[in-house]
Structure 1
Amino acid sequence: MVIGGGVVGLTTGIALRRRGIDVVVHECAPEIRAAGAGLGLWANALAVFDALGVGEQVRAIGKPSEMYFHDPAGRLLETPEFGVEDHRFLLVHRAKLNDLLADAVGRGNIRLATGFAAYEEHADHVTVRSADGSEESADVLVGADGAYSAVRAQLVPGTPAQEHPGHHAWRAVLPEPGLALTEDRLILGGDRCRGGWVRTYDGGVYWLVNQFDAPEPTGTLKEQALARAAHLDESEHGGVLAELIRATPEDRILHNRIMLVPPLPHWASGRVVLAGDAAHAMSPHVTAGATLGIEDAALLGRLLSPAGDVVAALAAYEADRIPRYAQVAELSAAVEHAATPQGFARHYAAFSHWMITTAGNPVTA
């Protein structure tokens, strides 16, 4: 049983079904949907989707993009020590990806409007109680229910999601930007701001603005985003990014106060395990949370089998994941605390290079 019908929960369902394991995905919402707008998938995530037989479909709803940074004057912040492969990713729309993955899991294997309440673990099974009071047994319970995970609250008490102080993000997808955009642009600017735009596969554009150490936002969401965009372009009226923000209806703009999951002492017990943001929700400044969660799903699919030792498999999963995410945290912090935009760009490329080149080689499998 998988709790959570997001990218990681659905990918886990696909991976386990391909191993011959019966899977039911429980989603508390009344429909498969996605919080957020655009989603970057790196080569390691695409390799997982290829192995699961959906890579071609995922690429069909994405646009190949590159993660290079510029300064507010438009100058490229070069990272000559890293190759082009360390900068390439696929931009997809979250909601379209979730729909595609739900179809691959099989809609009949997804139970909507089914909230998780609690579990009781036994030697040979887990009893799961839903919010409506009904109970069901499973061999394994996977908590893929996000940063505010109810499964984590029982498995690792006292580890609620924590605010990343002063870290905010604004973003939107604009289906018809009204501008002839010939390139994507990501910018590192002053006052700890960064942002830019990426063209989508269907002719739209995804724009985003982030700020570390931000004061408490005031004004409308559009005003908040424009205030940060002013640090990202030296043009008189804020350049293309400001134009895109001004063209976006207020109700299309998403704002998030970034939340993190603290390092956990364990991710699994005998038959219960965490995956994705439930285990390691992180700052989006390295744009790799979903990709890393997809790795989790793939590893569970490799380690679990219909007749295998569940306890040993989940112990091996935890032994692999915890050290990997300790390294993720270290590399992510180097990006966040870079003293200069050039340093940010270099640490970012170092992170993506590490992530891509070390993926797919679990130390315990």
Structure 2
Amino acid sequence: MRAVVIGAGIVGLTSGIALRRAGIEVVIHEHAPEIRAAGAGLGLWANALAVFDELGIGDEVRAIGKPSEMYFHDPAGRLLETPEFGAEDHQYLLVHRAKLNDLLADTVGRGNIRLATGFNAYKEHTDHVTVRFSDGSSENADVLVGADGAYSTVRSQLVPGAEAQEHPGHHAWRAVIPTSGISVPEDRLILGTHGCRGGYIRTHDGNVYWLVNQFNSPALTGTLKQQALERAVHLEDDGLDDVLSELIAATPEDKILHNQIMLVPPLPHWVSARVVLAGDAAHAMSPHITAGATLGIEDAALLGGLLTPGGDVPAALAAYQASQIPRYAHAAQLSAAVEHAPTPQEFARHYAAFSHWMINQHPAQNWVRA
């Protein structure tokens, strides 16, 4: 069996690893001229780490990350406790996206990755799918995996009219920088006023990752640094703890990443007979739950478990869809409860409820092959 995967991001590369481990020939096509990652820090939860363990690279992933905890504070520094949930519901691994992408690319084998070959279109046949690329070439495969993100071109053909949509007024700013003499004695995630959330987390290599996001943001003005600083004041209680502002002020303008948050609307289907969507291409959600990569890694593992050499591709994809569409409908409900929590305390509680559900109810756990 042969699979073509579109997108050499975290989900596409993990899909390639899982499918190759299942005995399937894989080629990954990436429109960019190099393996790269958009973003900075990335949280991997226990269910994603379990997938990497089963794929044989768990130790390597942990070696490029830092064990962290997702506890929240208010602007005055008070911990927002969630006694109904255990410590395991707050624990995750913070990794750098680019380092993880490099590790995954090395694992799948860079000879199995075709760079600068963007997806153009596909045509399904009874027993295979023909995929055409931007350079005029084409390939035949048994299955096509669209792991090409929120702006997926595979999705645009599979589900016409399902373009990514702006999450109105939802913006995020972040960067990874050296501490530069700024004292960062502990990690701090803060739930502030005016719809602002953010904080700072020390990374495994001595740097620090800071982030700010805001729901229902007013129109943006000024530089990226000015925008982030304007929102940081809503996360600091009368200047008693201004570490976040110090970190932002010390960040070069060109190192600050800004995103208008985009969402993929609920899709009526994720598959056809020989085409399947995975990761953000199928279910991009707000990053306020910091679980997009983890959920996409689950998709990759499930595909690697259901697709088998010589197996029934349409039946495998139908089983994948039957598992994942209801799961993500529930994930969206839990995510919305976090977003619309009326108080910081309820935000923290709903967040812990989401992570508890996610790490205890993941379908991929029984599908990855040893």
User: Which of 283, 291, 313 is 1:280 aligned to?
Assistant: 283
Map of 1:234 onto structure 2: 237
State the TM-score, normalized to the length of structure 1: 0.98
Q: 237-246 or 247-256: which moved more?
A: 237-246
Deviation at 1:363, TM superposition (A): 9.7
Maintained 8 Å contact 1:320/1:362: no
**Which whole-Å CA distance do the structure 2 matches of 1:178 and 1:232 have between them?**
22
Q: Deviation string for 1:165-196 (max 9, x for gaps)?
A: 00000000003442232210000000010000
Deviation at 1:308?
0.7
| Shift of residue 236, structure 1, vs aligned partner | 2.8
Structure 2 residue 327 is matched with structure 1 residue 324: yes
> Is the aligned partner of 1:269 residue 2:282?
no
User: Identity across aligned pairs (percent)?
Assistant: 77
Could you tell me which amino acid in structure 2 is paired with residue 29 of structure 1? A
Displacement of 1:226 in angstroms is 0.4
Between the aligned partners of 1:177 and 1:20, the Cα distance in structure 2 is 48
Aligned partner of residue 56 in structure 1, secondary structure: helix
Amino acid at match of 1:252: K
Q: Say whether residues 1:196 and 2:199 are aligned partners.
A: yes
Aligned to 2:160: 157
1:36 matched to 2:30? The reply is: no
The residue identity in structure 1 corresponding to 2:213 is N
Offset from partner CA, 1:253-283 (integer Å, 9 cap, x none): 0000000000000000000000000000010
Q: Distance in 2 between matches of 1:36 and 1:317?
A: 28
Q: Could you state the TM-score of these two structures normalised by the residue count of structure 2?
A: 0.97
> 1:235: Cα distance to partner?
3.8
Tell me how far apart the structure 2 counterparts of residues 176 and 182 of structure 1 sit (CA, whole Å): 11
1:147 Cα offset (Å): 0.2
- Map of 1:14-29 to 2, 5 A cutoff? 14-29=17-32
Match of 2:347 in 1: 344
5+ long unaligned stretches in structure 1:
none
Aligned length: 365
Q: Where in structure 2 are there 5+ consecutive unaligned residues?
A: none
Counterpart of 2:296 in structure 1 is: 293
Q: What is residue 133 of structure 1 aligned with on the other side? A: 136
Counterpart-to-counterpart distance in 2, 1:362 and 1:48: 7
> What secondary structure sits across from 2:262 in the alignment?
strand
Q: Secondary structure at the match of 2:225?
A: helix
Superposed CA deviations along residues 20-47 of structure 1, whole A, max 9, x for unmatched, are 1000000000000000000000000000
Question: Is 1:173 the equivalent of 2:176?
Answer: yes
Partners of 1:310 and 1:17 lie apart in 2 by 15
Residue correspondence of structure 1 range 61-76 to structure 2 within 5 A: 61-76=64-79
C-alpha spacing 1:324/1:364, structure 2 compared with 1 (3 Å) = farther
Q: Supply the distance in 2 between the matched residues of 1:182 and 1:203 (Cα, whole angstroms).
A: 12
- Alpha-carbon distance in structure 2 between the residues aligned to 1:353 and 1:238: 30
CA distance in 2, matches of 1:167, 1:361: 31
The answer to whether the Cα contact below 8 Å between 2:201 and 2:210 also exists between their aligned partners in 1 is: yes
Shift of 1:132: 1.2
The residue aligned with 1:82 is: 85
Q: Which amino acid aligns with 1:68?
A: Y
Cα offset, 1:364, TM superposition: 10
Pick closer, same or farther for the CA change 1:294–1:41 going to 2, 3 Å.
same
Alignment of 1:101-116 (within 5 A): 101-116=104-119
Aligned match of 2:120: 117
Quickly say closer, same or farther: Cα 1:253–1:361, change in 2 above 3 A. Answer: closer
Equivalent of 2:250 in 226, 247, 270: 247
Q: Which runs of 4+ in 1 moved over 6 A?
A: 362-365
| Root mean square deviation of aligned Cα | 1.3
d(CA) in 2 for partners of 1:212, 1:131: 37
Q: How far off its partner does 1:219 sit?
A: 0.4
Cα distance between partner residues in 2 of 1:312 and 1:226: 52
For the 8 Å contact 1:218–1:224, the answer to whether it is kept is yes
State the match for 2:308 in structure 1.
305
Shift of 1:284: 0.3
The one-letter code of the counterpart of 2:304 is G
2:63 corresponds in structure 1 to 60
